[in-house]
Structure 1
Amino acid sequence: MRFRTVLAAAILMAASAGSACAADAGVEFWYGHTGAASAAIQTLCERFNSTHAELLPMRCIAQGSYEQNLQKTVAAYRSGKAPALVEIYDVATPEMLNSAAVLSLEEFLQAWHKVPQDRLLPAVAAYYNNADGTLWAQPFATSTAVLYSHADQLAAAGITQAPDTWEAFGAALVALKAHGSKCPSVTDFGPWVWLEQSSAVMGAPLLSKDATQWVFDQGPHLRLMQSVAQWMADGLLIDQAATRSGGQELAFASGDCALLVGSTGASKLIYSADSGDVNANFLPVFAGQQRAASLPGGAALWVLRGQSEAQYQTVAEFLMFLREVSVQTLFSQATGYLPVTQGAAAAALAQLPARNATVVGLNTLALGHEAKAFEVRPGFTTLLRLAWQQQVWSALARQKPMADALHEAAQKGDALLRLFENTYGPSATNKGVKP
């Protein structure tokens, strides 16, 4: 009842500001995709509008990249012109949880008497919960990291299976190069894979237990990145910029490179090359480590304040529409993103080959009950990624040892944690649960 009162007040305030005029134009949903993913979203919106003619139409508007969409959303909210529904990428979750701009998804759906028949995957939903377990956003364009391999190239080099440890990964790179490969593996050296996802599956915390310090400058991550630097120096791990295509997914899909540590979200592009020998595999861990779950990446849908009752009615119906198994399946097949409901995931697991990226991605997310990489979800992760990337590149360019580079990145990250606390309050970081 309390939320209904708050929601009603928000609706009255929106109406007094002239939101009824905006309602006549439909309900805006802003998202951060281009290309095939954008086309798939437009297809979903057209399908929804055609089957819900009694509601205000959903207007799905591309706003460029994830970062551009976030920036435009902030500006629009401040000016009183925000959309009703917005897609925000995973690392901005703490900022969204701590903002006054969003409505809790769980309470919003309850207010509109919506009870989803197909529950979200626990591993994915948990990322968008707050500390008391309330779901604040609906997972949408979800992905995780896997190891892609060309089985034929591995076999030609005498490798019988894709490497499941980093030691085996290094040995495979050496064997591939010895067999004549000019690109045993390709990468963009992005932090999402090499810092966050790799640490998650290794069960290596990135933050101290009290969430006051970054600790990736020691332990498994330091060991991995020192190996990465050596692999690059030896011509075994190739920067995507040095490939013919200039992009890691295209370089792998074309067969120029044998291995790729990448996103399940890239699978649509990778499989489009139709090489026939592509397998997806779990990310490697070091020998002796107990494998843990990977992290859900991608983006989720957030309901913003300040809309009319009619607009919110459309939003509630649209969110339920997106959870339908047929819709989940359609979107996953069109984009490569993972289904996020239990029914749709079960259908994918039953229908797709065992080494398909969707199957492997769903299975790696389900390993164990929780990922250990983030004991508490940190704020300003986007800026931490930038600091990590800048320092790692300086180490890869042999300007400093990798240990020094990671230590400097961690120190910059610690300063960002303090800044986040000063911005949102000392307990802000603890609003995130263990994803």
Structure 2
Amino acid sequence: MFRKTALATGLLLALGGTGAQAQQRQGFTFWYGLTGQLSEAVQSVCKRFNESQAQYSVTCTSQGDYARALQNTIAAFRANEQPTVVQVYDVGTADLMLAEVYRPARELMASQGHQVNWNNYLPPIAAYYATSKGEMLSFPFNSSTAVMYWNRAAGQKAGIDQPPATWEQVADAARKMKSAGQACPIALDFDSWAMFEQFAAIHDLPIATRANGYGGLDAEYVFNQGLMKQHFNNLLGWYKEGLIQIRTAQSGKDVIASFAAGDCAMTFGSIASHTTIRRTAAQGLDWTPVMLPIYEGSKRINSRVGGASLWTLKGRPEGEYKAAAAFFAFLATPDSEEYWSTITGYIPVTATGQSRLEQSGFYNKPENAGREVAMQSLLLTEPTENSRGLRLGNMTQFRAAYANEMQAAFAGQKTMDQALAALQAQGNQLLRRFEQTYRGKQLP
């Protein structure tokens, strides 16, 4: 009996406190939608919080991917077993806003005695998770933006000294690379975020009416016109010319793996992939992220934030909200933001966090080379109605429809014009279905 008690006491001490101390801690639960190395990073952040003080403790549990985290949370709510905090991806924001199952960020922090400088959150990031009046309802967490990844050596072999800044230059560079023996100048996939959503943002183009949905649930998709329509026809033309290869996980290597292996010289994706490329790059790969290209004659606007934010859910004991508020305050400290950016490829979400990275020489370290491009792109201009974000319902289903229509076009089953028209029609059906689901409600 004594031996068991001694072992138990030793275990509690190893975990950071005696039984009495552990019981005094107010705990809460945090569900998130990341796996692999990023899940390990979240667990590391949770451990840091638990070790930073003795009043509160957080139990952090991966639910798989973003969609599953949201689905599991909905199911848990029905059973009255919802977590205190849940990570919801960017395009799920409208769903959470209308579900009325959350405690607004400002109300939560004020009720727990925390004074927050809400203006400290970087405008392009805050805007995505804010109401039409600019009030943040959740806390930005893992944030990123899209960049183009460029293989310097492949460019130099083709006689190109500088990464292309325009799509016209991208096409020219791809032709020169192909002539120089590069089998795959450009790797492309069927993810709408970098090539569709971010393209519209930096060109200041509307994806939908009503300020991309911020103005109401009666928004309609209007992307099938002008430069957007031209761009996707260009992509298909370059594919037929042999300048683009489709690289997805289903085909063996996705765009990031294809770039890191040196198979493809250009691709597009999240700055969060910077760490993955650095860790998996072929020996001697000379590469860098650069801003997404724009078309000649276009005025570049800030790129859009991606990632997810943290929502506090209703229906939990009051003590858990005190603990959750302390957790949010902890995450917003410059120390925490620097740590998070260091162990992941994500960017800081506050001005003080960004200042800490600049002052500490973060961007000058070899392992972080080029990561400043994401902040330059994101903070290039004040967000416009077209670049601040999307407040459109059923976006998960829309992204799936995008992938299906693009696949049909690149497989030669449809013309690009037919695919875009079908996508817009399906998108509007999804918006009307979403509007019907929340009939009588208004976006905040």
TM over 0.5: yes
- Which of 405, 425, 430 is the equivalent residue of 1:391? 405
| Amino acid in structure 2 at the alignment position of 1:208 | T
State the distance in 2 between where 1:349 and 1:393 align.
41
Displacement of 1:323 in angstroms is 0.7
1:403 matched residue in structure 2: 417
Contact 2:148 2:290 in 1 (8 A): yes
2:73 matched residue in structure 1: 73
Contact 1:206 1:373 in 2 (8 A): no
| Amino acid in structure 2 at the alignment position of 1:330 | Y
2:15 matched residue in structure 1: none
Q: Does 1:215 align with 2:217?
A: no
Q: What does the per-residue CA deviation read over 1:129-186, in whole Å, with 9 as the maximum and x for residues that have no partner?
A: 1122221010111111001111121111111211111111111111111100011111
Q: Does 1:364 align with 2:364?
A: no
2:336 matched residue in structure 1: 327
Q: What does the per-residue CA deviation read over 1:375-400, in whole Å, with 9 as the maximum and x for residues that have no partner?
A: 86211111111122211111111111
2:152 matched residue in structure 1: 151
Task: Say which SS state the counterpart of residue 147 (structure 1) adopts.
Answer: strand
Task: Say which SS state the counterpart of residue 235 (structure 1) adopts.
Answer: coil
State the distance in 1 between where 2:101 and 2:237 align.
46
Contact 1:264 1:357 in 2 (8 A): no
| Amino acid in structure 2 at the alignment position of 1:257 | C
- Which of 378, 391, 396 is the equivalent residue of 2:392? 378
Task: Say which SS state the counterpart of residue 81 (structure 2) adopts.
Answer: coil
| Amino acid in structure 2 at the alignment position of 1:290 | K
Contact 2:90 2:306 in 1 (8 A): yes
Check 1:101–1:253 CA distance in 2 against 1; reply closer, same or farther (3 A cut). Answer: same
2:3 matched residue in structure 1: none
State the distance in 2 between where 1:275 and 1:100 align.
52
- Which of 432, 436, 443 is the equivalent residue of 1:418? 432
Contact 1:208 1:215 in 2 (8 A): yes
TM-score (norm 2): 0.87
TM-score (norm 1): 0.89
Match runs of 1:36-435 below 5 Å: 36-55=37-56, 57-116=57-116, 119-209=120-210, 212-241=219-248, 246-272=253-279, 273=281, 275=284, 277-350=286-359, 351=361, 352-353=363-364, 356-371=369-384, 372-373=386-387, 377-425=391-439, 428=442, 430-431=443-444
| Amino acid in structure 1 at the alignment position of 2:257 | L
Task: Say which SS state the counterpart of residue 171 (structure 1) adopts.
Answer: helix
* Matched pairs, number: 408
1:6 matched residue in structure 2: none
Contact 1:162 1:281 in 2 (8 A): yes
Contact 1:34 1:64 in 2 (8 A): yes
Identity %: 33
Displacement of 1:189 in angstroms is 2.4
After the TM superposition, list the runs of 4 or more consecutive aligned residues in structure 1 that deviate by more than 6 angstroms: 22-25
State the distance in 2 between where 1:198 and 1:145 align.
9
Structure 1's unaligned 5+ residue stretches are 1-21
Alpha-carbon RMSD across the aligned residues, in angstroms, is 2.2
Structure 2's unaligned 5+ residue stretches are 1-22, 214-218
Contact 1:244 1:251 in 2 (8 A): no
Contact 1:23 1:310 in 2 (8 A): no
1:13 matched residue in structure 2: none
Task: Say which SS state the counterpart of residue 26 (structure 1) adopts.
Answer: strand
